[in-house]
Amino acid sequence: MSLHLYDTWTRSLREFTPLKPGEVGLYTCGPTVYNYAHIGNLRTYLFEDGLTRVLRMNGFKVNHVMNITDVGHLVSDGDDGEDKMEAGSRRTGETAWTIAALYTDAFRADLKSLNIVEPTTWCKATDHIAEQISFIQEIEKKGYAYVTSDGVYFDTAKQASYGYLGRLDIAGLQGGARVDLGEKRNATDYALWKFSQPEDKRQMEWDAPWGRGFPGWHIECSAMAHKYLGEYFDIHCGGEDHITVHHTNEISQSEAAYGSRLSNFWMHGYFLLTNDAKMSKSAGEFLRVQLLIDKGYDPIAYRYLCLTAHYRSQLNFNWEALDAAQTALDRFRQNVHSMGAPGPSANAEYVKKFIDKLNDDLNFPQALALAFEVSKSDLPNPEKKATLLKFDEALGLGFANWVPKTVDVPANVRAVADARWVARNAKDWAEADRLRGELTALGWTMKDGKDSYTLNPS
């Protein structure tokens, strides 16, 4: 089966064919680095990682670009409120630049713990101010921009196609917002450039033809996607919340400047919920990868949990589900490890079945079920192992490098165990039993194998 992906633009499954043979241009909206990422954010990056792995399994070279939003994302997600970076700076007492660097590093560490492959290109919004200004100038030249006392705005009423991605009810939105429009002409108009207000004392601001200030969040992605992937590329991704505003506006800007809807496919990962509500960084327990580690989980157990749900359905997080994922993962990895060395080739029939499942809009839950089927099959161990290692190129559970945890045995315990091993081999059963009793008193259990023994805390 050839690769089929769900495209939010058409609201349907479409066969995926790259625009340039053999190569895929992929843009994924990156984190706003004003705080740590929560595991909900990371569910979206896990979905995107699954997508890039499946694209690679299909033989495509993937040019994966991810931005770092380090300016311009306002607290309200609209055009009002404080910049999240400036707010983060106030919260922590560090400069906006320092926290951007700190949380970017933390984000990359999270990706690493979840075995998420890094993009081929990282780009920071603050490194691309000139590109954003010239993109806005292009929009202005085409007649879609207007200036108010607080910034430069996009006039969505001039664009008949505006809002198609989000299937927006423009008239309804306009009616609902009439009173709070301020100087904005239409409810759906959005900021391209915001002016610094003297009372804000911003740390991040630049000169631009319209006045000193900072770029809007949407223009960042349009400008960087355009720079690294061109006017029209293959796939653009983000979380489901991006459908109605952020991606709708990215498309609107590109359509105005270049007459293109920017990307051929628009794909969205659905939310991770806690107690059936949207997860947020401000409400309740802040669920970070580090918290999972502190509680004794392997972060890959969270990856496993995400693989059990399709990316287009919301997933409710709770600790019982993570416990179950951790147990299943441990057993699975132990089982794969015990298969010994892999043979020279994977089982072609199973690999085909596996890719067919993934090519059906990334059906990871079924692909994972197939991996279990293989592990229980009567294939010879070397072939079974080679097949599961091949599957793991997409699953990313780290089968190849996993080894059972070795236990740190204190030297005095080791000495008693060695003495017991000698006594046992000399058939001095009384001494062997006495030393076993000593080990028990020290809190250890010794298990005899054929050629060696193992020790575990009892």
**Would you tell me which residues interact with ligand AMP (CB under 6 A)?**
29, 31-32, 40-41, 43-44, 69, 238-239, 241-242, 269, 271-272, 278-279
Residues 6 or more apart whose CB falls under 8 angstroms from that of 353 comprise 370
From the list ligand AMP, Zn ion, none, which binds 278 (C-beta under 5 to 8 Å, kind-based)?
ligand AMP
Least Å distance between CB 247 and Zn ion?
7
Three-state DSSP class for residue 453: strand
CB count in 10 Å sphere of residue 235: 25
Least Å distance between CB 246 and ligand AMP?
8
Least Å distance between CB 80 and ligand AMP?
17
By beta-carbon distance, which residue lies closest to ligand AMP? 239
**Applying CB under 5 A, which part among 24-32, 310-318, 374-382, 405-413 lies near Zn ion?**
24-32
Q: What is the DSSP letter of 179?
A: G
Number of shown-chain residues binding Zn ion (CB under 5 A): 2
Please spell the DSSP secondary structure of 323-353, one letter per residue.
HHHHHHHHHHHHHHHHT-S--SS--HHHHHH
Least Å distance between CB 64 and ligand AMP?
14
Q: Give the span between the Cα atoms of 340 and 421, in whole angstroms.
A: 27
Q: Whose Cβ is closer to Zn ion: residue 239's or residue 343's? A: 239
Least Å distance between CB 139 and Zn ion?
17
Q: Could you write out the three-class secondary structure of 265-298?
A: EEEEECCEEECCEECCCCCCCCCCHHHHHHCCCC
CA 384, chain centre distance (Å) = 29
Q: Could you tell me the strand order of the sheet in which 190-195 lies?
A: 145-148, 151-154, 190-195, 213-215
CB neighbour burial string for 31-61, b if at least 16 within 10 angstroms, e if fewer: bbbbbbbbbbbbbbbbbbbbbbbbbbbbebe
Q: Whose Cβ is closer to Zn ion: residue 204's or residue 221's? A: 221
Least Å distance between CB 311 and Zn ion?
18
Q: Whose Cβ is closer to ligand AMP: residue 58's or residue 244's? A: 244
Please tell me whether residue 219 binds Zn ion under the rule CB under 5 A: no
Q: Whose Cβ is closer to ligand AMP: residue 74's or residue 152's? A: 74
From the list ligand AMP, Zn ion, none, which binds 41 (C-beta under 5 to 8 Å, kind-based)?
ligand AMP
Name the helix (H) or strand (E) containing 315.
Answer: strand 315-317
From the list ligand AMP, Zn ion, none, which binds 252 (C-beta under 5 to 8 Å, kind-based)?
none
Q: Whose Cβ is closer to ligand AMP: residue 236's or residue 420's? A: 236
Question: Which one of residues 26, 33, 37, 221 is an interface residue with Zn ion (CB under 5 A)?
Answer: 221
Q: Whose Cβ is closer to ligand AMP: residue 248's or residue 387's? A: 248
Least Å distance between CB 321 and ligand AMP?
15
From the list ligand AMP, Zn ion, none, which binds 123 (C-beta under 5 to 8 Å, kind-based)?
none
The pair phi, psi for residue 360, each rounded to 5°, is -90, 70
From the list ligand AMP, Zn ion, none, which binds 44 (C-beta under 5 to 8 Å, kind-based)?
ligand AMP
Integer-rounded Cα Rg, in Å, for the chain is 27
* CA-to-CA separations, 25 to 218, 229, 236, 248, 330, in angstroms, rounded: 19, 6, 9, 19, 36
* Residue in the block written with tokens 């053999």: 22
How buried is residue 140: exposed, middle or buried, by Cβ count under 10 Å (0-12/13-18/19+)?
A: buried
From the list Zn ion, ligand AMP, none, which binds 221 (C-beta under 5 to 8 Å, kind-based)?
Zn ion
- For Zn ion, the binding residues in 28-47 under the rule CB under 5 A are 29
Least Å distance between CB 72 and ligand AMP?
11
Which residues of this chain interact with Zn ion, rule CB under 5 A?
A: 29, 221
